[in-house]
Chain A
């Protein structure tokens, strides 16, 4: 009981994710600044933003549904923290695992996007409603390629459990090379999931002021921001576990170092994407996802189907 609480609140749970999420936000912002030839924010910047927002006044608009308005940030935060427990991090064993946890993790990572939609919709403000509909439109574009890209390695491994998948790829590290298209597809989809450039259409501040979060302020906005930071870490961990299964059998210390390096690499790639690209329009985004990214993911699925017949008799 005490151990579970410790897991839940402190080590792989909330406190660790809070610190790790803020650190990764700093890495992302600093890299973004350095790539633009700027100096960038100091290391404590995400923490200062969080404390400031938490200490500010919360305004709940008169027109908004106040229950939904208050609940949605908590839902977003809870679902991303829960998803983290099922992902193998520095060994081949995750904290909790069962056959089919891959699907659970993918669905838990969809919940934040749905809370963004509901939060924007129940704010009952014009801008947040436009942002909310865009969030949902975008969800249908990137979610299917992401599902297919992450299910393809599972097909090759012949299991629906993330832990068993990492065991399989740990025994056959060379097989990870077959999943390279899936890795690229899932990186693009993760960028869409985190609603960052070029897929920051739902919160495009030059068009629809603040998008889904237009009416949010104070603590609720702080919770949404920390949920997005943690979502970035969890998404990067998922990609690291599925597509980069290296250095898992080296014990806890080295495994942790490898894990940090993998997550940092994914975050750095996402920051690079954010720097070199500009925002797409919503229909360009949908067309791009369905015409290019989804067929690529299907191709990956096909490769892995054939390979699983050849390599795994």
Chain B
């Protein structure tokens, strides 16, 4: 059944449907994402379609730092998506928290709440960079080496459960943010 697995991987790379979610961005990254969806950039060439519901989507595009208020909603939307799913953090704030890092109401980057598959830095990230990031994420599925999954960025000493393979409290204990296998990306 190796050819079937190959066919499925091929189909996943060729048909990424995205959903866009603003986790507290200043709207600059959102406008760049919307710009990337216009006919000028024509991302349907890569099979990318924007979907309204998380049930149809494969890639969750998040922009902005995770605020305390949005965190639960973000996790809920992430868990509504069917496996296999990927998360792309668009913009510097989504990657690390950016200028908002350390604010009383900000948890940090997207990886403070859910596992992230690709980071696209930039303030805001250009449409070309966003398209490049998504295409790179998906083509990395094909290669022999596992997809570049970032862990949550915390060192073992800082991790509340001791890191590496332990159940992650940020994800309701369902899947560990630091284990590529559990994130459905093996």
Contacts and interface: CB of A to CB of B under 8 A. Distances in A.
Interface of A: 29, 33, 36-42, 44-45, 47-52, 55-59, 127, 205-206, 209-210, 213-218, 221
Contacts of B12: 52, 55
A183 to B, nearest CB: 31
| Interface size, B (range) | 20 to 34
Interface string B40-77: 00101101001111011010000000000000000000
Contacts of B84: 56-57
A52 B50 CA distance: 16
Given A48-B10, A206-B52, A216-B55, A40 B42 contact: yes
Contacts of A57: 82-84
Chain B: interface secondary structure? loop
Contact of A33 (B44, B51, B58): B44
B8 interface: yes
B83 A56 contact: yes
17 contacts: A36-B39, A37-B39, A40-B42, A42-B47, A47-B11, A49-B15, A51-B8, A51-B10, A52-B11, A55-B8, A57-B82, A57-B83, A127-B53, A205-B50, A210-B55, A214-B55, A221-B56
Contacts of B51: 205, 210
Most chain-A CB neighbours within 10 Å: which of B12, B39, B51, B52? B52
Given A45-B47, A57-B83, A52 B55 contact: no
Contacts of A56: 58, 82-84
B103 interface: no
Contacts of A47: 11
B101 interface: no
Contact of A39 (B8, B15, B42, B50): B42
Closest 5 CB pairs of A and B: A205-B52, A51-B11, A210-B53, A57-B82, A209-B52
A128 to B, nearest CB: 9
A51 B82 CA distance: 15
Contacts of A36: 39
A38 B82 contact: no
Given A45-B15, A213-B53, 7 more contacts: A38-B44, A45-B47, A52-B8, A52-B15, A56-B83, A205-B52, A217-B82
Interface string B78-110: 001011100000000000000000000000000
A216 B52 CA distance: 12
A304 B158 CA distance: 81
Given A45-B14, A52-B11, A39 B52 contact: no
B42 A38 contact: yes
A1 B14 CA distance: 40
A278 to B, nearest CB: 15
B157 interface: no
B83 A42 contact: no
A59 B82 contact: yes
Contacts of B45: 38-42
Contact of A215 (B7, B55, B58): B55
A159 to B, nearest CB: 44
Given A44-B14, A48-B10, A217 B42 contact: no
A38 B49 CA distance: 14
Contacts of A37: 39
Contact of A48 (B15, B52, B55, B83): B15
Contacts of A41: 44-45, 47
Contacts of B82: 56-59, 217-218
Contacts of A45: 14-15, 44, 47
Contacts of A214: 52-53, 55
A48 B39 contact: no
A310 B14 CA distance: 58
Interface string B106-120: 000000000000000
Contacts of A51: 7-8, 10-11, 15
Nearest to A41: B44
A49 B7 contact: no
Given A38-B39, A56-B83, A49 B47 contact: yes
Nearest to A208: B52
A210 B42 contact: no
Contacts of A42: 14, 45, 47
